[in-house]
Amino acid sequence: MPVRVLIVDDDELSREVLTLLAERAGYEVEAVESGDAALVHVQRARPLPEVVLTDMQMPGTAGDELARRLRGLCGAGTLLLAMSGSEVEDGVGREFDGFLLKPFTMETLAGAISGGSARGEGGLSGTSGVVLDEGVYAKLMGSMRRSQLDELYALCLRDAETRVGRMRRAASDGEDAAYRKEAHAIKGGCGMVGALELQRLATSMEERGLCDDDVATLDEFMVACERLRRILVARESN
């Protein structure tokens, strides 16, 4: 029987990519958009999920509090795995059975489920100047129809551009936390689809927060979105 996995992520793009890849890898997958929705789900689910894979940074119930509540509902028979686009601080995530750094492969997930080391690659090492991770693109292309792949990347770009609009408003209002939050979400979603240049820029924006040249950085990000869009259009014509 396939392993039953519940994916919990408030980012629509990450949730959709993880669901597609996990189903392709043979898992039986359900997905919800928040920790609170996950708690409702496991209260009703029979049988219970064997694995809960949840993002660490979400509105509402999240992090170790979510893990404690899930453990109370699911018992020791459910493996609780945390994931995030950033490394967590010391002591954070101790209620989970493992941690995966986005983006990660299904092989990394399988290793975590079987009791091995759960880390992930992070996706940025040695990729300076790379716009699109060809390996990730090829895996996604092998996991879905071309129309689905095109829509997935269109969703990625729409989501990123919408969040950049919010970042401009946050910059105008001097809201550093909101600015960093949107950058973090972009970083995670773009990483999952191999949009490495956008992931790099979002990582830099999250780490730096508001600064004197944030408008120029956001303009640079929009140029990078167009660069990725041109590459994807070229792929469609091949």
Q: Are 228 and 160 in contact (CB under 8 A)?
A: no
67 touches 96 (CB < 8 A): yes
Task: State the Cα–Cα distance between residues 5 and 47, nearest whole angstrom.
Answer: 11
Q: How far is CA 90 from CA 87, 93, 94, 186, in A?
A: 9, 8, 9, 24
Cβ-count burial 43-65 (b if 16+ within 10 Å, e if not): eeeeebbbbbbbbbbbeebbbbe
Task: Report which residue type is found at 124.
Answer: L
- Residue 42 has which token pair? 């496991």
What local confidence, expressed as pLDDT, does residue 236 receive? 77
**In angstroms, rounded to a whole number, what is the distance separating the alpha carbons of residues 9 and 35?**
8
Show the domains of the chain with their CATH numbers.
4-113 (3.40.50.2300), 134-237 (1.20.120)
3 state DSSP class of 55 = strand
Task: Give the pLDDT confidence score for residue 34 in this predicted structure.
Answer: 97
> CA-CA distance, 117 to 137, in Å (whole number)?
25
Closest CA to 68 of 95, 30, 101, 105: 95
End-to-end CA gap in the chain: 39
Query: Dihedral (C-alpha) 216, 218, 220, 223: value to the nearest 10 degrees?
Result: -140
Per-residue pLDDT of the chain (238 residues; tens, 9 = 90+): 899 999 999 988 889 889 988 998 899 999 999 999 999 999 998 999 999 999 998 999 999 999 999 999 999 999 999 998 888 787 788 999 999 988 888 889 999 998 755 555 555 555 567 899 998 899 888 888 899 899 999 999 999 999 999 999 999 999 999 999 999 999 988 988 999 999 999 999 999 999 878 888 899 999 999 999 999 999 877 6
pLDDT for the residue numbered 109: 92
Distance CA 152, CA 159 (A): 11
